[in-house]
Structure formats: C-alpha cells, structure tokens
Chains A and B, each alone.
Chain A
Amino acid sequence: MRHGDEVAQEALDALLKAGADKASCGVSTSVVTELNVERAQIGLLRSTMNVNVNLMAIKDQKKGSVSLNSLEPSAIDRAATDTLAMAAVSQPDPAFDIAEAQEPASFESGAKEPDHDAMYDRMKEFLDTVADKYPTIMLRQAYLSFSRHNWSFVNSNGVDYRTEQGVYRFNALFSAREGDEVSSFNYTGFSMRDLEQELLERGSLDIMLRQTTEQVRTRPVKGKFMGDMIIAPDCLGSFLGFLTHPLSDRPLISGTSLYKDSLGEKIAGAEFTLHSRPVSSEIADGYFVTGDGYAAENSTIIDRGVLKSYLLSLYGAKKTGRERAKNNGGAYVVEPGTTPLEEAIRGVKQGVLLVRFSGGSPSANGDFSGVAKNSYYIEDGQIAYPIRETMVSGNFAEAFRNLKVVSKERVDFGWSILPWVVVPGITISGR
C-alpha cells in the first residue's frame, strides 16, 4: 500500500495545480483488531483496514472539501479536480483559511502492533472473573480492540505533520438478572496504552458492574422535590459535553451560546477546574494535531470556576473575532477536589447519585431533563435505594455555576480523567 506522506503531498500538489489559492490534505490509515463478546462468549474476531483522504481547497475565498478512501493516483487527481469544482460554486467567506507555517514534526505514541494472544487472554480473564464475582451479570456485548492510526497532514503554507498512534480500547454493555427481574443496561469503556493491567481494574468497570447487580430491584422516587445531584464520572462526560458545546463554533457564530460574553467570568463553582490535555502523558488516547493543522497544546478551559478559553476552530475564531483554541477540546481532565466521595454523599440531605443520564440535548438556554438511569436515591447522607422511572431536570449552566463539591477520587478513562461532582438545585420527580 502507498505511504500516507507521499499521497498527502501528491494530493496537495494536485490541488494547487488545479488552481487552489490555499489547500490542505490529510491522509489517515487505520488498522483495527477487535475481539467481540456476545452473551458472555468470545464470538467474533475482526481485522479491518481503512484509509481516508481529506482534500480541502480555497479559491477566491470559496471553499470545497472532498473525502475518499482510495490512495490510487487517478482517484486522488479526480478528487482534487472535484474539490476545486466544488469551491468554485460555493459562497465566498473571508473567514476561510488554513493554518500558518509551523516547524514540520512527527509524533508517536503507543504500541505498533497488537498482541493478539494477550488480547484474548485479557478478555477471557475478564469473562471468567465476571462470571465468578458477579454471577447475575449478563454481558450483552463487549469488545477489546487495538487500533493503529497513522495520519499525515500537509498544507500549502508548509505545515507538515505526521502522527502514529496505537491504542487499546475496551467497551462493555451489560445488565443483571435474577429470575424474571432484570436491571437496566449500563455501559462503560476506556482506552489504554498496553494490556499490563486486568481489564476489571481499569476505568469504572468494576464499580459499574457491582452497581448493576444492585439495580435488579428498583423503585421510583416518591413525588417531586428539589435536591442535590451527584454526577458520577461516566455521566460527567455527558455533562461536560453540555458545558463545552456552547464554547464551540456553531453556538458562538450563531450568537445562541449561553457563554458568548462569559470569557473571564465565573461559570462554575470555585472548586471546578477543567483542562483539555490531548498531549499530556496522563491521557492514553489523545491527539497531537488539531483538525485545522496546528500542533495541539494542552489548555485550561475553566480555572477555579472562571472561563479561560473558548473551543473555537480557525474558522470560528476568524468568524467571531476571538482567539483560536489551542486544541480541538476533548481529553478532559478535571482537577480532583479535597472531599472524599463518601463525605460528599454524607453532605446530601436529599438527592440522587446520577450514574447514567438518558436525556435529550439541553435547550440553548441550558435547560435539560432526562431519566436518571442506573442511579440511586440519597436521603440524609445515605444511599437509600436504586431507582427507576425518576426524572431529573434543571439548568446545566446554573448547576455548574453553583457546583458544590468535586470529589477527591477520579476515574481514568484513558481519554478523560473525571471525578464525581455535586450540583444543587435539581428537580427530581418520581411517582
């Protein structure tokens, strides 16, 4: 197979030859090996390979993009011509641009090849341990994969980056059953550089499996009340999505962002510090180069509650007149607090421990509502019982602004490191 570097440069040359004022090309190749479990048996071994070539051209400030998954020279040439043809018929926008010149660089992380036997052994060990430790667990689906992803990115300003990343990933979906009674399903996953540690010891897997076995018999919360919500790490990822979406291109360009005038302002509790650390050694599944072709840097989005950075792309930055973000977001690391989780629970008079949130995207004004799945009712500082048919609603912006506690403990998911957080003012309604 042809090398990505060679194809990327060839495509860039073709775009410029076809008349582009500015152009870029990214070529990725990925090889994935995946062991799949269904119904507690290893049933499928997949080996997939793919390539992706993304061409982008700007001519007279008009932009076109084409992507294909062929490295054939004739296909690349055709795609370059198509990209320019698409640019020619689009609408001009002075904000279209490409990354300025940077020092060429190569980045590498993780293993180069998967260890098939180790993958099989770890998965088998996981299945045996779960069968022994949590006999009521029904594994609906689980997979352990190794992905080797190489990416070459060049643009007509002289940007020339190569990245090579190898990472193992694990995901599992499960429920528990006792006789005719079944729990809600739950799921979790994580990334890792190697398979040195047992799967059950990673991420929140053991916690989630144990909790699921407790959730076969549930009951709705009685009535409706306003209370605290402890958001568990698996669920905090969704809430960070709510929090960071208004910091991104579309809401800021359209003017609908809740945080459009909040840079330098307090938008979260003082104990809450959120970093995006795609190139940190503590993140196993990060990235080195942004989608625009800049070397990614770690950044702090919220520092002790104060908004420090938006998550704008080059286009978004030019469009809004604000600063471009140092990365694409993600790889979120929340600083640990000083309160142990047990103490945080003891501090809740009435509320829920939210383990999974099943709900729609929040409204543009921050209102959200959804079902508290795999969750627990908390009363007088004690976890009282696992719940069902219970809804939580509120405004996520208010919830983060009034955030009370960040736990001392955190979960390392490989792509994120997250604690439990306590937010007040949530409407909790059952039956």
Chain B
Amino acid sequence: MAAVDLKRYAAFLKDYTELRMQENRTIGIGFLNGNNTGNSRSSSRGVSARVYRQGSWGFASSPDPSDDSIKAVLSLAQQNADFLHAREDKGQGPLPSVVAHLEKDFSTKKPRLSQKDLLAYAKEVDNYISTEYPDLTSRSVGLSSLEIEKTLLTSEGSFYRSLIPRSFIYINLAAQANDGPVEVFDLHGGLGQFEDTLPSDEVLHSMIDRLYEHLMRKKEGVFAEAGVKTCILDAKLGGILAHEAIGHTTEADLVLSGSVAGRLLNQEVASPLITLVDFAHTAFGEVCPVPVYVDDEGTPGQDVTLIEQGVLRNFMHNKESARIFGVAPTGNARAYAFSDEPLIRMRNTAILPGDSSLEDMIASVEDGYYLIQASNGQADSTSEFMFGVVLGYEIKNGKLGRAIRDTTISGVAYDVLKTVTMVSDQHWWSSGGMCGKKQAIPVGMGGPAIKCQITLGGR
C-alpha cells in the first residue's frame, strides 16, 4: 500500500472522526480434477472517514488515495453526519475516549513465494492425491490468502498501522457411494502468509491420507438418528459453538436489539465447566489467528470474558454501546473493507480447555455421536443455533462406530451448555471461515471438545 502520512490530516478531524487507509489483497489458486481452474490476484484499497455528531454518524469512502480525495472524503463524512443531525438531533453525549499508538506487521520474514511457486505447490498436492487415490470421483485443491493492511488515525489521537495476513490450503475429496456422491474437506493454515503457513509434505500427506480414510468410511456411512443425543463435539465444533451460538448473543448491539443474553447477565447460563473468552490478540501465550491489537475506532483490544465458570459476565462493545452501558469499550469495532464502517464483531472466541482426555470422553458415551467437522453455522438472538456437520461417527458402548452422513445439529445454546459434563484438555483454533454480519470478516474460533446433549437432524 502506498505510504500516506495520515497524521498530516489531524487538523481536519473536527467532531469525533476516524480516518482509515486500507488495502485488502487476495490470492486464489484452484485445481479441480487436475484442471487449473483458479489463478488470480486482487487488490482493493482506499480511504474512508467516519464522523460522529451527537448520536448521528456520517461515513464516506473513496478508492482514490490522493490528497484531494482524502480531504473530500473527510468533508463528505462530515456533511453526512450533519445531514442526519439536522433531521435527527439525538442530543447524545460524547463517546468514551481511549487512545492507542501501535504498529503490528505479521508479514513473512522469509523470501516470498511467487505465483509460479504457489501453482507448482498446488499442482504437486493435486498430483499426490491423484496418484495415491485414483478411485476418487473428484478432487480439488485450493490456495487462498487474504492480507489486510491498514492505517488508522482518530481525532482523539489514536494511531494504528497493521498488516494482518491469513492463508490456507483447502482439500476437497469426493467418492461415489451407492446412493450418490459423498464429500469430505479439510484445510490447513491460519495467521501468516503462505511462506509461514504452508505445511510440510509430511503434515500435508498425513492430512490427505486421514481425509481419504474418513471419505471411505463416510461412503459406507449411515444416517444419524434424529433426536436429542449425547454427543462429543470435537474442538472444531466447540469453536463454532462459542462463536455462533453464544458469541453473537453477547455483542452489545445485539443485546440492545433484544438478544436473549440481555436479561441473563450475571446469571448461570452454562455448566460451571464452561468459561468462554473473546481474545483480542493473545491467548495461551501465543498470538491468536486474527489478532486485533487496536480496533477500527482506535481502542486497544481487551480480552472479554463472556462466560466465567458458567456465569454470563460481560458483553462485547464498541465506543457507542460502551457509552450506553456505562462501561469501557473493549476493542471489538471492526470493519472488513476500506469502504465499510466498523461494527461490533468478535475476534478470537474460545471455550477454555478443561481436564478430560478426548479418549475418556468418547469412552464415557454408551450411545451417541462423535461430531468432528462443521460446514457452516447460524445462530439466533434467542441463542437457538444450527451447524451443518459433515464428518462424524457413531459411538456405541464407548467406542467409535460407523461414520455418519451429513447432518445438522441444533439447540438452544444456553440450554445445551448447561448439559456439558466433560471438557477436553486440548485446544484448537480455526480461522478459515468468515463471519457474516452485514459485512463478512475473518474471525478466530477455538475450543476444546465438549460432551453435551444436542439435537441431531436425520432420517
């Protein structure tokens, strides 16, 4: 991104104002059955400003980073705030003032891989799959990366410059079962550019071999029995439960709009085994997959303990909701693109590990399911949720049984979490997906495996 000294514009920021320069860069490479179906790069950059005037906000953005354009964007954002203020004088007070100064750069220190290198890597992976597993109906290999580089200046004096990349390799395998095609997928990657995230051959081949084994078992798999079942949700599902089912209900804007969490503060909402945290940037001594050191309102990122030993303790805030609730902002205001306004978003939401081993948890189930991978998830303001489950096994008398076909699990999260009786000692971060809330944005989701009662869809 071309260097523009935003501090030069400090004198133009009158009412509370954020001025942000941002560039999002992507790489996409795809092979479908050996055909090179994807080979692209993209960049989207620009400048935006947001102005607050007694409860009314004005926002403007432009892709043009020139001096004239930046001044025009600032002026238009102010005009928009004035337009609304003239019609909707809300008479609201100033926003909480918090100041941060920081620079964070997670770009690789290794020599950069070219597009040719990345294509060759993906092709080699595809060759491995086609050679080792010629009986597949279809296979696909994808490389995908997103780098978000931004500089933020606020009228309060906050200044933050960051480059946060994430990159992944995706594998999808399909085989023909008696009743039609079945598929499995997996991915590997996280925070960092490809140079830092692409797995070694050993790790990758082991992932593919495991995936193929799952596929063969799924091909012979059975439909899950519909109804309320005892299940072990693997760490990957624990993360999505933390994010979708609980996390969204505790975003302060949703609380203000009637989320069920609003009336549950300081009440027992889960088993005492459950502690759930939205980490800003660092957890368990390591940098999280989506680190937010300073948010897009210039607030330093603070960890938010949402549930502490089963009791709902806090909500996630931006400046405006913090003012309404009379608390400090938590650094959860995030925008995806230069042309997006910051919204209250999660960062890295995780249930904290417990002290049971996964093996003991499976052994403790007489008749239930071990659910390993989710395809997607949605949740409601009531905390009712659903996740698509694309990989799982029966548990019979404490042992893993037959694989199951795709199914859906659902429940009311605050009820389901009360049924948790075991939490594993492992923790797993996943960050390959995007969270959708007007804008799509990368988030980290983490968790241990949990044992709970949950409703399965099935035949």
Chain A residues close to B by CB (< 8 Å) = 1, 38-39, 41-52, 63-70, 82, 85-87, 89-91, 93, 95, 116, 120, 138-141, 175, 177, 180, 182-185, 224, 250, 253-256, 258, 315, 319, 358-367, 369-371, 373, 388-389, 391-393, 427, 429, 431
B residues near A (Cβ < 8 Å) are 31-33, 35-37, 39-46, 48, 55-64, 76-77, 80-81, 83-84, 87-88, 90, 114-116, 119-120, 123, 137-138, 140, 174, 177, 179-183, 226-228, 253-254, 256-260, 263, 339, 341, 374-376, 378, 380-382, 384, 386-390, 405-408, 410-412, 438, 455, 457-459
User: Given A50-B46, A67-B40, A82-B41, do A43 and B56 touch, yes or no (CB 8 Å)?
Assistant: yes
A373's contact among B174, B380, B388, by CB below 8 Å, is which?
B380
Contacting residue for B257 out of A69, A93, A140, A315, CB 8 A: A140
Distance in angstroms from B4 CB to nearest chain A CB is 14
Distance between A25 CB and nearest chain B CB, rounded to angstroms: 14
- Complex: how many Å from CA A89 to CA B39? 9
Partner of A224, one of B37, B48, B226: B226
Please name all residues of chain B whose beta carbon is closer than 8 Å to the beta carbon of A392 when the two chains form the complex. 457
Closest 7 CB pairs of A and B: A360-B388, A365-B180, A369-B457, A91-B36, A89-B116, A140-B257, A254-B138
Smallest CB–CB gap between B72 and chain A, Å?
10
Inter-chain contact A360/B339, CB cutoff 8 Å: no
CB pair A45 B57 closer than 8 Å: yes
User: Which of B90, B115, B386, B457 has its CB near the most chain A CB atoms (within 10 A)?
Assistant: B457
- Cα distance A87–B123 in the bound complex, in angstroms: 15
Contacts of A391 in B (CB 8 A): 226, 408, 410, 455, 457
**Once the chains bind, are B381 and A175 in contact (CB under 8 Å)?**
yes
Contact A254 B438 (CB under 8 A): no
Q: Are B459 and A427 in contact (CB under 8 A)?
A: yes
A254-B137, A360-B388, A361-B376 known; A90 and B119 CB under 8 Å? Answer: yes
Chain B's nearest CB lies how many Å from the CB of A145?
A: 12
Q: Is B32 a contact partner of A250 (Cβ separation < 8 A)?
A: yes
Contacts of B381 in A (CB 8 A): 140, 175, 182, 184-185
With A and B bound together, what is the CA distance between A293 and B180 in angstroms?
Answer: 35
Partner of B408, one of A51, A183, A393: A393
Instruction: Tell me how far the C-beta of B181 lies from the nearest C-beta in chain A, rounded to whole angstroms.
Output: 4
Q: B59 to A45, Cβ gap below 8 A? A: yes
B411 near A389: Cβ-Cβ < 8 Å: yes
Question: Can you list 22 A-B pairs with a CB-CB distance of less than 8 A?
Answer: A42-B87, A42-B88, A48-B48, A66-B40, A69-B43, A69-B46, A177-B258, A255-B138, A256-B138, A258-B180, A359-B408, A360-B387, A360-B389, A362-B406, A363-B182, A369-B407, A370-B457, A389-B412, A389-B455, A391-B226, A427-B459, A429-B455
Chain B residues with CB under 8 A of A255: 137-138
Q: Chain A residues near B119: list those with CB within 8 A.
A: 89-91
Q: Are A47 and B88 in contact (CB under 8 A)?
A: no
- The residue from A44, A49, A253, A427 contacting B33, defined by CB atoms under 8 A apart: A253
CB–CB A365/B80 < 8 A: no
Residue ID in chain B nearest A364 by CB atoms: B181
Selected from B180, B376, B410, B455, the residue in CB contact (under 8 A) with A366 is B180
Query: Could you tell me the distance between the alpha carbons of A66 and B40 in the complex, rounded to whole angstroms?
Result: 6
Contacts of B36 in A (CB 8 A): 63, 90-91, 93
Q: Which residues of B contact A183 (CB under 8 A)?
A: 382
Complex: A429 Cα to B44 Cα, angstroms: 46
In whole angstroms, how far apart are the Cα atoms of A90 and B28 in the complex?
12
User: With the chains together, A86 CA to B177 CA distance in Å?
Assistant: 38
For the A-B complex with A43-B56, A47-B77, A86-B40 known, give 5 more contacts whose Cβ atoms are closer than 8 Å.
A41-B90, A52-B44, A86-B39, A250-B32, A391-B408
For A220, give the chain B residue with the smallest CB separation. B455
The answer to whether B457 and A429 have CB atoms under 8 Å apart is yes
Residue of A at shortest CB range from B23? A69
A141 to B43, CA, bound (A): 30
Residues of A within 8 A of B258 (CB): 138, 140, 175, 177, 182
A184–B380 contact, CB under 8 A? Answer: yes
Q: Is the CB of B406 within 8 A of A360?
A: yes
Residue numbers in B under 8 Å from A91 (CB-CB): 31, 35-36, 119, 123
Give min CB distance, B130 to chain A, whole Å: 13
Bound complex: CA of A365 vs CA of B59, how far in Å?
Answer: 46
Contact A48 B380 (CB under 8 A): no
Contacts of A427 in B (CB 8 A): 226, 458-459
Chain A residues lying within 8 Å of B259, measured Cβ to Cβ, are 182
